[in-house]
Amino acid sequence: MPSFRHEKRCAEAGAIRVAGIDEVGRGPLAGPVVAAVAVIDRTVAKRKLLRLIDDSKKLTLEQREEAFAAIVESGAVRYAVGEASVEEIDTINILQATFLAMRRALQAMAEQPDLVLIDGNRAPPELGCRAETIVGGDARSYSIAAASIVAKVTRDRYMRTLAASFPGYGWETNVGYRSPEHLAALNRLGATTHHRRSFAPVRMVLEPGLPPEVVPLVMDD
């Protein structure tokens, strides 16, 4: 379960505003990569809110929606969202696009944090503030977990909205990730403008004669 242990440690070292950053959408075949930044006021956050916050991957859709609503309504969490488009992913690669989404989320914050806790083992360059990486941070830090929920709910809602305009791919349930339904539709219907052309399954549909060994594989989140 998450805790405030890392936030408190950073605060004791002089960081007054400590934020968490997480992203969602590295692995999907379609849609943007989305990052969120969250700062939780520990003096205001109630246990009822904190009980709902956990690594978004461990929560059901209903639990994520409930947690997101509580985050929005609590008054204890300041957050912002940034994204990188499919075109940017295909141009600069998914890692750099993820870093770009994180920088955009941070830039969208009204008050910049003194330090950010980032899920994973790589910090984006040029963040504009100090950063500390935490492997498995979305399960260890309340701030990162809150950011993971905001990012996940934001992206999933967007993909479900797109599903109405692009039926057949199953985005209302797979939200752009590779699934048997999505892969079958990709082969049957072809790629949309929201598909990532640099990802192997999409590129193989667009260029069927391309040798598989020259197509980069990208693993799911």
- Smallest CA-to-CA distance from 105 within 21, 7, 18 is with 21
pLDDT at residue 15, rounded to an integer: 87
My answer on whether 147 and 196 are in the same domain is: no
Domain that holds residue 174: 166-207
Q: What is the pLDDT of residues 151-190, one digit of tens each?
A: 999 999 999 999 999 999 999 999 999 999 999 999 999 9
The answer on 155 and 170 residing in a single domain is no
**Are the CB atoms for 155 and 26 separated by under 8 Å?**
no
Instruction: Answer whether residue 221 shows pLDDT above 90.
Output: no
Strands, E assignment, 167-216: none
Single out the residue of 79, 4, 77 nearest to residue 41, CA to CA.
77
When mean pLDDT is compared across 21-25, 76-80, 127-131, the lowest value belongs to: 127-131
In angstroms, the CA 203 to CA 151 distance is 27
Whether residue 99 sits in one domain with residue 190: no
Residues 97 and 153 reside in one and the same domain: yes
User: Is position 39 within any domain?
Assistant: yes
Within-domain flag for 14:
yes
Q: Is 83 within 8 Å of 33 (Cβ atoms)?
A: yes
123 and 198 co-located in one domain:
no
Angle among Cα 74, 80, 85 to the nearest 5 degrees reads: 140
Residues 109 and 178 in one domain: no
pTM of the shown model:
0.93
What would the DSSP string read from start to end of 50-85?
Answer: HTT-S-GGGS-HHHHHHHHHHHHHHSSEEEEEEEE-
Q: What is the pLDDT of residue 214?
A: 42
Assess whether pLDDT exceeds 80 at residue 39.
yes
Q: Are residues 24 and 36 in the same domain?
A: yes
pLDDT of 211 over the 90 cut: no
**Whether residue 196 is found in the same domain as residue 145:** no
For residues 160 and 186, state if they share a domain: no
Residue-level pLDDT at 209: 66
pLDDT category at 128 given cuts 50, 70, 90 is: confident
Number of domains in the chain: 2
Asked if 156 and 170 sit in the same domain, the reply is no
Average confidence score pLDDT of the chain: 93
Instruction: Please indicate, yes or no, whether residues 52 and 140 belong to a single structural domain of this protein.
Output: yes
pLDDT band of residue 210 (cuts 50, 70, 90) is: low
> 21 falls in which pLDDT band (50, 70, 90)?
very high
| pLDDT for res 215 | 45
| Residue 140, domain member (yes or no) | yes
Is 220 a residue whose pLDDT tops 90? no
- CATH number of residue 139's parent domain: 3.30.420.10
Q: State the pLDDT confidence band at 57, using cuts at 50, 70 and 90.
A: very high
The answer to whether residues 17 and 118 belong to one domain is yes
Say if 144 falls within a structural domain. yes
As a whole number of angstroms, the distance between CA 41 and CA 196 comes to 38
